[in-house]
């Protein structure tokens, strides 16, 4: 499986952006210590861990995670549900 340099740059760039977002939200949780911020930071943590799991397959063809497109969508849905619960929590 050949992956172009543009896709590698985009994936790494999005992973770095996700890590900054997770860091900012987690620092907000650390400051306030509310369950609302905990749920939002948990959602961003799921996005961040998912992005980290997909990075090694860019550099090594032997490392393939058996994730279908539906599993990727399910992981994103779980993360978005945590963020939505955090936003809607009073």
Work out the percent of the chain whose per-residue pLDDT is above 70.
91
What's the pLDDT score for residue 80? Answer: 95
Residue 68's pLDDT is 79
| Residue 62 burial (10 A CB sphere; 0-12, 13-18, 19+) | exposed
Confidence at residue 52, expressed as pLDDT on a 0 to 100 scale: 87
Closest CA relative to residue 81, chosen from 54, 47, 34: 47
60-76 pLDDT, tens digit per residue, is 767 766 777 898 899 99
Q: What is the pLDDT of residue 53?
A: 85
For residue 46, give every residue at least 6 positions away whose Cβ sits within 8 Å of its Cβ, in sequence order, or none. Answer: 75, 78, 79, 82
More confident of the two residues 67 and 10: 10
H or E segment and range at residue 13:
helix 5-32
User: Hey, where are the domains in the chain?
Assistant: 5-88
Largest CA distance in the chain: 48
Q: Mutual orientation of helices 69-88 and 35-54 as an angle, nearest 10°? A: 160
């Amino acid at each position: 499986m050949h992956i172009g340099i543009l896709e590698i740059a985009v994936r790494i760039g999005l992973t770095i952006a996700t890590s900054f977002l997770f860091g900012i939200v987690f620092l907000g949780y650390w400051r306030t210590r509310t369950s609302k911020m905990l749920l939002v930071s948990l959602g961003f943590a799921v996005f961040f861990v998912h992005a980290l799991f997909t990075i090694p397959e860019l550099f090594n063809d032997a490392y393939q995670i058996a994730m279908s497109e539906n599993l990727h969508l399910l992981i994103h849905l779980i993360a978005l549900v945590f963020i939505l619960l955090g936003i809607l929590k009073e």
